[in-house]
Amino acid sequence: MIEIVDLYKYYGERRAVGPLSFSIEDGEIVGLLGLNGAGKTTTLRILACDLLPSSGSVRVDKIDVVEHPHEVRSRIGYLPDTPPLYGEMTVAAYLLFAARLQGLSKAEATKRLREVLESTSLTEVRDQLIASLSHGFKQRVGIAQAIVHGPRLLVLDEPISGLDPVQIVEMRELLRSLKGEHTILLSSHILSEISETCDRILVIRDGQIAASGTEAELSEKLAKKHHQHVEVTLRGDEEKALETARAVAGVLAAELIDTNETGEDITALRVESDADIREALCKALVAADLGLLEVRRGERELESVFLELAGAEANANAGGASPKKKKSKKSSKKGRSVGSSGEPVEAKAAETQEGGSEP
Ligand code: ATP
């Protein structure tokens, strides 16, 4: 449905996108994920024939966007990052207007209106002024205008941005319900927002594809690049536990970490290795007469995976348990909870931007 080969887009001297190549099959729902300024909007605008590429080839349904923009537009429904809504119109009047702009006859537009209101769950607000709707409903109207002419491809720029948690769930359901009839390409800068909705994720970084795959494939890819971490909770002497762990073949490092388990002599360790050493580690700890309570793989947090792929290396190690600040057993029993960075991705992305090379 989409085939992009060696696309470049320059704004003056500045390269916003390129070299960019990817393709999307009929019926897929794909997320274009990147930090602010990565080139998402530029790519989507080119696909929607709203912007000309500097070079390269962009085809939608095998039709070139530069040579035949009108034919491409009739196949695409586009939701820009700021939906083109008129607050003083009712939902129904606006959607009829959008349908007529797309070239539908009055009769066709009226018929489509009913279908679109239903599929986007807008029937109950059809006679309400758009200005009086909540942000979530306005986004739905934006999607309704994008699908009103029955396009095969939907290009949605940050459709989930700014929605509250309930609206996010509703939007996910709406997008998945549209999947049968449309191929969908949507953008976001928050992995968790789209990982559940999309069949595949394309991570865009500096105008190029940095990685692609399902969320699980992306996590796996990074796990292979990095050392493995195992977190162990046990009952026994801290020093003995550290010594025992460090003596296991394959272990590169071991350190004490905070645990929120309470109890006499509870100790938690994070062990770094270049292979899966869980079995050997457990045997060694038991042989050393340490009371083994729990062993688990240290999981990288979803957002840290994305941040590393998207180019924010400085923040990429945010996942995992925090190292123990003090060795005193009494003071560290109620430490930070394991595996929570507690910081939203947007905040990290903003920090990165401030320290980055954006103008
Ligand atoms: P955001 O999520 O912030 O919209 P994005 O990933 O969509 O980011 P783009 O808007 O495509 O990124 O921008 C890519 C780069 O091109 C950025 O560095 C941006 O500053 C630059 N850029 C975008 N539009 C223009 C323009 N009209 N003129 C000059 N530079 C631009």
Kindly give the distance from the C-alpha atom of residue 207 to the centroid of ligand 1, in angstroms, as a whole number. Answer: 10
Using the predicted structure, report yes or no on whether residue 164 has a pLDDT greater than 90: no
pLDDT in tens, 233-269: 999 999 999 999 999 998 999 999 888 888 889 999 9
Using the predicted structure, report yes or no on whether residue 208 has a pLDDT greater than 90: yes
Select the more confidently predicted residue: 171 or 318.
Answer: 171
pLDDT in tens, 40-71: 999 999 999 999 999 999 999 999 999 999 99
Using the predicted structure, report yes or no on whether residue 166 has a pLDDT greater than 70: yes
Kindly give the distance from the C-alpha atom of residue 334 to the centroid of ligand 1, in angstroms, as a whole number. Answer: 45
Please say whether the beta carbons of 126 and 91 come within 8 A. yes
Please say whether the beta carbons of 33 and 310 come within 8 A. yes
Using the predicted structure, report yes or no on whether residue 11 has a pLDDT greater than 50: yes
Using pLDDT thresholds of 50, 70 and 90, give the confidence band for residue 150: very high
Q: Whose CA is nearest to atom 1 of ligand 1?
A: 36
Kindly give the distance from the C-alpha atom of residue 309 to the centroid of ligand 1, in angstroms, as a whole number. Answer: 19
Indicate whether residue 40 lines ligand 1 (CB < 6 A).
yes
Indicate whether residue 151 lines ligand 1 (CB < 6 A).
no
The residue type found at 99 is A
- Which pLDDT score is estimated for 346? 35
Best of 41, 191, 202, 353 to mutate for ligand 1, by most ligand atoms within 8 A of CB? 41
Beta bridge partner(s), residue 77: 154
Kindly give the distance from the C-alpha atom of residue 41 to the centroid of ligand 1, in angstroms, as a whole number. Answer: 7
Please say whether the beta carbons of 232 and 281 come within 8 A. yes
Which atom of ligand 1 approaches the CA of 12 most closely?
A: 29
**Rounded to whole angstroms, how far apart are CA atoms 322 and 258?**
7
Indicate whether residue 14 lines ligand 1 (CB < 6 A).
yes
- Domains of the chain, with CATH numbers? 2-213 (3.40.50.300), 226-350 (3.30.70.260)
Kindly give the distance from the C-alpha atom of residue 104 to the centroid of ligand 1, in angstroms, as a whole number. Answer: 33
Indicate whether residue 16 lines ligand 1 (CB < 6 A).
yes
Token pair for residue 26? 């009929």
Please say whether the beta carbons of 193 and 117 come within 8 A. no
Neighbours of 118 (CB within 10 A): 10
Most confident of 31-40, 88-97, 194-203: 88-97
Select the more confidently predicted residue: 118 or 216.
Answer: 118
pLDDT in tens, 298-334: 655 456 667 777 776 444 444 445 566 544 433 333 3
Kindly give the distance from the C-alpha atom of residue 305 to the centroid of ligand 1, in angstroms, as a whole number. Answer: 23
Using pLDDT thresholds of 50, 70 and 90, give the confidence band for residue 347: very low
- What is the mean pLDDT of the segment spanning 97-119? 94
Indicate whether residue 98 lines ligand 1 (CB < 6 A).
no
Please say whether the beta carbons of 16 and 10 come within 8 A. yes
Return the residue matching tokens 């939906």.
83
